[in-house]
Amino acid sequence: MATDLEGLNPFNGSFAFDRELIGHQRGARCGCCIDQEHISCLVGSQSIIESAAAFGFEYLITGGVDGDVLVWKCTPEGSIELLHMFLAHVNTVMAICPSRLLNDLHDPELEGLDPTRVSFVDAALCIYTAGRDKLIHRYTLLGRKLLTLDVCCMHPILIYRGTMMSFAVL
């Protein structure tokens, strides 16, 4: 049974790029998105989940070769703006995935930010990043570090259905 995606290949010219996002100094290494399907699976404050679904925003998160993470906010109208940029790792960000857990804590840094650009939903949504520095961090989309885990080896890190897992190699 053939699918519509079968013939798509970035090397044979079967699709055209829509736009270029400029932000990483030496290039992006990995990325993930937080879309409405992911938002419907979140665990945490019901009011935040309902607000996230009502806003209709989606997010594209990219990890760079220099350890930086860029968070892009995508509107239903099709515009994309850089929401936040922060340094997540000493060197290359090897993997990024969205977290199903929300940050339910009040973030005092939100009070000084422009409310037309940044919402409490942006501070509640979280991601996990894995770096070549053998660390996994959990961040809010505004760059607040919530958790750090040590990894003994980066080779076995894999992402399965939006969950980052690591296994020790003996």
Q: How far apart are CA 113 and CA 122, in angstroms?
A: 12
Q: 61 or 162: whose pLDDT is higher? A: 61
**How high is the pLDDT of residue 76?**
80
Sheet hosting strand 135-140, strand order edge to edge: 93-98, 126-131, 135-140, 145-150
Distance between CA 4 and CA 7 in Å, rounded? 7
Report the pLDDT value the prediction gives residue 66, as an integer from 0 to 100: 92
pLDDT at 37: 84
DSSP string computed for 40-73: TT-BS-HHHHHHHHHH--EEEEEEETTSEEEEEE
Label residue 87 by pLDDT band (50, 70, 90): very high
Residue 36's SS3 state is helix
Is the predicted pLDDT of residue 170 greater than 70, yes or no?
Answer: no
The alpha-helical segments, DSSP class H, found in 31-148 are 36-39, 46-55, 120-124
Tell me what pLDDT residue 167 has: 42
Give residue 62's Cα distance to chain centre.
Answer: 6
**Sorting pLDDT into bands at 50, 70 and 90, what band is 3?**
low
Q: How confident is the model at residue 85 (pLDDT cuts 50, 70, 90)?
A: very high
Q: What pLDDT is recorded for position 110?
A: 56
What pLDDT, in 10s, does the model give residues 99-152?
988 886 656 665 565 655 667 787 788 999 999 888 999 999 888 899 898 876
Domain boundaries, the chain: 28-165
CA-nearest of 31, 72, 33, 73 to 56 is 73
Report pLDDT for 72. Answer: 92
